[in-house]
Chain A
Amino acid sequence: MNRLDFEIIKNVIKDNSRILDIGCENGELLKFLNKGKKIDGRGLEISQKNVNICVKHGLSVVQGDADKDLISYPSKSFDFVILSQTLQATRSPEKVLNELTRISKRAIVSFPNFGTWLVRLKLLFKGVMPQLKSLPHTWYTTPNIHLCTIKDFKQLCNKNSIKIEQNFYLDKNGKKITNFIKKFFNNFFSLSGLFVLKK
């Protein structure tokens, strides 16, 4: 996740909201949001080392796993939950999506788009698993076990009656795509997508 992602998320989040950053790593986003916004921020992070860094910086973070631990949070206990570039690495993305929208009023989810023309081109001409800036791993080291395209994601939301309230299509620099045609063919042109979900 980069700073541009942060800016979009910051604009989506309203003041005085209670948020949970899932996979908060060393707390970069929480610290960023704390600066310009009045928020009650929490974090869930799988690496204990990262958790310790967060708590040392005064952030409220617990060690946990998005696949297993969301279940312990009560329904609608957060105004926003954020799952940034992690959905594709979860064991059960469908379950996680449902948990995200259960525990929050709004869920902000971003992921790398496997439908981008770059992936299609590489696969078509090279015939090997594509490696991009947004997907830097080899097929045998990648944590991304459930990659999907923007179209796949929208279909999954639809299947689970999850409403997409806002969408942001991002180019390879993490900038919002504004070009009308590229926006229309977002599954082809964007490198990643960021969605605000509600159920």
Chain B
Amino acid sequence: MKNKIKNSKKFALLGIKKPLKLDNGKNLKNFKIFYQTYGKLNKSKNNTILICHALSGDQYAAGQNPITKRPGWWSKAIGPNLPIDTNKFFVICSNILGGCLGSSGPKEINPKTKRVFNMSFPVITIRDMVNAQKMLIDELGIKKLLCVIGGSAGGFQALQWAANYPEIVISAIPIATSFRHSAQNIAFHEVGRQAIMSDPNWCNGNYINKKKRPEKGLSVARMLAHITYLSEEAFQRKFGRNLQNKLSLTYGFKTDFQVESYLKYQGQTFVDRFDANSYLYITRAMDYFDLPSQKKDGLKNIFKNTPVKFCVISFTSDWVYPTKYSKEIVDSLNAVGANVSFVEIQTDKGHDAFLLDEKEFNGTVRGFLKATANKIGF
């Protein structure tokens, strides 16, 4: 097998000469972005694919995640001969700004004060994350991105990349995503944040200094969010009313149902790998995402004359970012004569379908990437 997938600790120290100008008006100097690369950059440096991860993702998209020892979050899609073929493409995935796997965020040390940031980390936006990624790409000497791909909050980033850097981005695949956070999206996030902040171990965000962890709060936040990532049908198909290791109801409040056990497990595994403050910062950045508001006349103006080739993908049972939001993106792109494809995948797996092995989905990504690569001549 060529280009065997390996993960290692890679990071770039950025904003040294020129700071990152944040949307909140502040400057971020000397920050770190941790990243992984898979495959090889070709001679003409035009085979780079940037993968943008979602809320709970990380830079370990392919191969084995060295921390959890489990397969990378998109290992079904990225690798040799897979839809995002590392024999052909040079794949970069970076931990987003504000993330908790090395990149600068609330749990890292503030280089200025030499103390943990905690809640003194600036509130960031999707655009800030993208601008940080742009600095990373510059640092790596890459001038063109064959494709920027991302699902969910990764899709926000893909859209933001296309909006801000059309001279760099050749194509974009925003998946299971939207152009803005809806009231319902914000509402779910707020419940998650309240769960974290009302955990006594949160200590106003200073839990690291107090050597505590708001595990209960973070796991409740994850349990709630996880419900939204699946669909009603998927829950019913997977669990129904099945009981957990028992034959009858206990008439108590311990885990009676399989679905309860499943959610608790999801919550527990999440707190083992994720930082509570990071969760606050990233969900906030997502809530602030409102692409049309970034320019007068909204989406149409943002993508006016865009040379970027788009492939928008949605899933029928996704109720976090339903198809109608993807359709609205597509309509706006059509309205400016942009080159856009739009595929809605039939599945009952809900929002998380993009992480799973959906045959139709894989075929679409593979076909689109192949056509894009052919067009620029490799």
Show the binding face of A for B, using Cβ within 8 Å. 18, 40, 42, 48, 51-52, 54-63, 69, 72-74, 77
B334 contacts A52, C-beta separation under 8 Å: no
Q: Which residues of chain A have C-beta atoms less than 8 A from B360's C-beta?
A: 52
Interface SS of A by simple majority: mixed
Whole-angstrom CA separation of A74 from B305 in the bound complex: 12
Pairs across A and B, CB under 8 Å, 12 listed: A52-B360, A55-B343, A57-B367, A59-B371, A60-B340, A62-B330, A62-B342, A63-B342, A69-B334, A72-B331, A73-B334, A73-B335
The 5 A-B residue pairs with the shortest CB-CB distance in the complex, in nearest-first order? A58-B371, A56-B367, A62-B342, A77-B337, A56-B363
Name the residue of chain B whose CB is nearest to the CB of A42: B339
Name the residue of chain A whose CB is nearest to the CB of B327: A63
Show the binding face of B for A, using Cβ within 8 Å. 309, 311, 330-331, 334-337, 339-346, 360, 363-364, 366-368, 370-372, 374
Q: Which residues of chain B have C-beta atoms less than 8 A from A60's C-beta?
A: 309, 339-341
A72 contacts B370, C-beta separation under 8 Å: no
Q: Which residues of chain A have C-beta atoms less than 8 A from B340's C-beta?
A: 60, 62
Contact of A74 among B335, B364, B371 (CB under 8 A): B335
Contact of A51 among B335, B339, B342, B370 (CB under 8 A): B342
Q: Which residues of chain B have C-beta atoms less than 8 A from A52's C-beta?
A: 343, 345, 360, 363-364
Q: Which residues of chain A have C-beta atoms less than 8 A from B335's C-beta?
A: 72-74
Whole-angstrom CA separation of A77 from B343 in the bound complex: 22
Name the residue of chain B whose CB is nearest to the CB of A62: B342
A74 contacts B337, C-beta separation under 8 Å: yes
A56 contacts B364, C-beta separation under 8 Å: yes
Name the residue of chain B whose CB is nearest to the CB of A58: B371
Contact of A72 among B334, B364, B366 (CB under 8 A): B334
CB within 8 Å for A40 and B342 given contacts A58-B370, A72-B331: no
CB within 8 Å for A51 and B343 given contacts A56-B366, A74-B336: yes
Q: Which residues of chain A have C-beta atoms less than 8 A from B330's C-beta?
A: 62
Q: Which residues of chain B have C-beta atoms less than 8 A from A48's C-beta?
A: 343-344, 346
Name the residue of chain A whose CB is nearest to the CB of B363: A56
Q: Which residues of chain B have C-beta atoms less than 8 A from A42's C-beta?
A: 339
Name the residue of chain B whose CB is nearest to the CB of A51: B343
Q: Among B330, B336, B342, B374, which residue has the most Cβ atoms of chain A within 10 A?
A: B342
| Nearest Cβ on chain A to B110's Cβ, whole angstroms | 46
Q: Among B336, B337, B372, which residue has the most Cβ atoms of chain A within 10 A?
A: B337
Whole-angstrom CA separation of A51 from B323 in the bound complex: 15
Q: Which residues of chain A have C-beta atoms less than 8 A from B345's C-beta?
A: 52
Q: Which residues of chain B have C-beta atoms less than 8 A from A61's C-beta?
A: 341-342
CB within 8 Å for A58 and B374 given contacts A52-B360, A52-B364, A63-B342: yes
Q: Which residues of chain B have C-beta atoms less than 8 A from A77's C-beta?
A: 337
Q: Which residues of chain B have C-beta atoms less than 8 A from A40's C-beta?
A: 339
Q: Which residues of chain A have C-beta atoms less than 8 A from B337's C-beta?
A: 18, 73-74, 77
B364 contacts A62, C-beta separation under 8 Å: no
Q: Which residues of chain B have C-beta atoms less than 8 A from A18's C-beta?
A: 337
Whole-angstrom CA separation of A62 from B330 in the bound complex: 8
B368 contacts A55, C-beta separation under 8 Å: yes
Whole-angstrom CA separation of A60 from B368 in the bound complex: 9
Name the residue of chain A whose CB is nearest to the CB of B337: A77
| Nearest Cβ on chain B to A159's Cβ, whole angstroms | 28
| Nearest Cβ on chain A to B38's Cβ, whole angstroms | 23
Whole-angstrom CA separation of A48 from B341 in the bound complex: 12
Name the residue of chain A whose CB is nearest to the CB of B346: A48
Q: Which residues of chain B have C-beta atoms less than 8 A from A62's C-beta?
A: 330, 334, 340-342
B364 contacts A63, C-beta separation under 8 Å: no
Name the residue of chain B whose CB is nearest to the CB of A77: B337
Q: Which residues of chain B have C-beta atoms less than 8 A from A54's C-beta?
A: 341
Q: Which residues of chain A have C-beta atoms less than 8 A from B363's C-beta?
A: 52, 56
Whole-angstrom CA separation of A72 from B345 in the bound complex: 23
Q: Among A52, A54, A73, A74, which residue has the most Cβ atoms of chain B within 10 A?
A: A52
Q: Which residues of chain B have C-beta atoms less than 8 A from A73's C-beta?
A: 334-335, 337
Whole-angstrom CA separation of A73 from B338 in the bound complex: 10
Whole-angstrom CA separation of A99 from B290 in the bound complex: 31
Q: Which residues of chain A have C-beta atoms less than 8 A from B331's C-beta?
A: 69, 72
| Nearest Cβ on chain B to A30's Cβ, whole angstroms | 12
Q: Which residues of chain A have C-beta atoms less than 8 A from B366's C-beta?
A: 56
Contact of B344 among A63, A69, A72, A74 (CB under 8 A): A63
Q: Which residues of chain A have C-beta atoms less than 8 A from B339's C-beta?
A: 40, 42, 60
Q: Which residues of chain A have C-beta atoms less than 8 A from B309's C-beta?
A: 60
| Nearest Cβ on chain B to A152's Cβ, whole angstroms | 31
Whole-angstrom CA separation of A148 from B330 in the bound complex: 33
Name the residue of chain A whose CB is nearest to the CB of B367: A56
CB within 8 Å for A55 and B311 given contacts A72-B334, A73-B337, A74-B336: yes
Whole-angstrom CA separation of A68 from B112 in the bound complex: 57
| Nearest Cβ on chain A to B342's Cβ, whole angstroms | 4
